[in-house]
């Protein structure tokens, strides 16, 4: 039910804005790229299989191809309109190392493992049981990562104020970090690039 509400929100944005940052609820392309930069500054994507969860229009894939070699990229999203647009932008005959699929990772189990699993911007929605929802998502994606699961999230420490009627929810970054430390002792935490956003890398 919650996934359906999130999906419908993005579909409404896409119907209004089309292929634009506003459809993805990005403040700007620059803000999204700032978050992408945390991933490629930390991880060597060369010769790796990559799953980009909530890939939107697949923009991360073009940066990975520019900066690394032999990246086998799969992007998934719950919004069919986003996946259709990604396929138009990066057709498989021209970009055989990229594939895009409509898939909900929480309701459709992923049996395959990927060297690197990325989640950028998908853990920001206001939902019932916000902390439990995020912990469940982290554990699910951690389980299918072969080397590292990396994600970003709105929030900080102390926890920023949340508004009841907002579409977004700010996490206490230390609580999320502590949860990740129950999965592995190989954790990298970054929060120096934005006052209300943080990135965590959990390594196998």
Q: What angle do CA 96, 75, 85 make, to 5 degrees?
A: 80
Q: Is the pLDDT of residue 148 over 70?
A: yes
pLDDT of residue 191: 97
Q: Name the residue with higher pLDDT: 31 or 84.
A: 84
DSSP state of 170: -
pLDDT of residue 5: 86
CATH number of the domain encompassing residue 44: 3.40.50.150
* Phi and psi torsions of 25, nearest 5°: 60, 30
What's the domain count of the chain? 1
Query: Is this structure's pTM higher than 0.75?
Result: yes
pLDDT of residue 1: 54
For 8-41, b/e burial (b = at least 16 CB within 10 A) is eebbebbeeeeeebebbbbeeeeebeebbebbee
Render pLDDT for 67-102 as a digit per residue (tens, 0 to 9).
999 999 999 999 999 999 999 999 999 999 999 999
Nearest to 122 by CA among 76, 190, 74: 76
Instruction: Note down the domain range covering 187.
Output: 2-203
Residues 122-126: what's their mean pLDDT?
94
């Amino acid at each position: 039910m919650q996934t359906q509400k999130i999906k419908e929100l993005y579909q409404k944005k896409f119907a209004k804005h089309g292929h634009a940052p506003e459809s993805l609820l990005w403040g700007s392309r620059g803000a999204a790229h700032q978050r992408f930069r945390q991933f490629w500054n930390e991880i060597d994507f060369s010769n790796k299989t990559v799953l980009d969860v909530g890939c939107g229009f697949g923009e991360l894939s073009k940066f990975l191809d520019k900066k690394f070699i032999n990246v086998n990229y799969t992007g998934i999203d719950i919004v069919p309109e986003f996946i259709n647009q990604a396929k138009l932008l990066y057709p498989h005959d021209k970009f055989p190392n990229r594939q895009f699929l409509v898939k909900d990772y929480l309701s459709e189990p992923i049996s395959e493992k990927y060297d690197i699993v990325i989640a950028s911007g998908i853990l920001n929605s206001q939902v019932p049981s916000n902390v439990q929802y995020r912990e469940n998502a982290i554990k699910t994606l951690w389980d299918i990562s072969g080397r590292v699961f990396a994600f970003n999230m709105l929030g900080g420490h102390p926890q920023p104020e949340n508004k009841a009627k907002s579409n977004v929810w700010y996490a206490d970054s230390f609580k999320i970090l502590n949860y990740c430390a129950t999965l592995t002792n190989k954790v990298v935490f970054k929060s120096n690039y934005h006052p209300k956003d943080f990135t965590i890398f959990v390594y196998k």
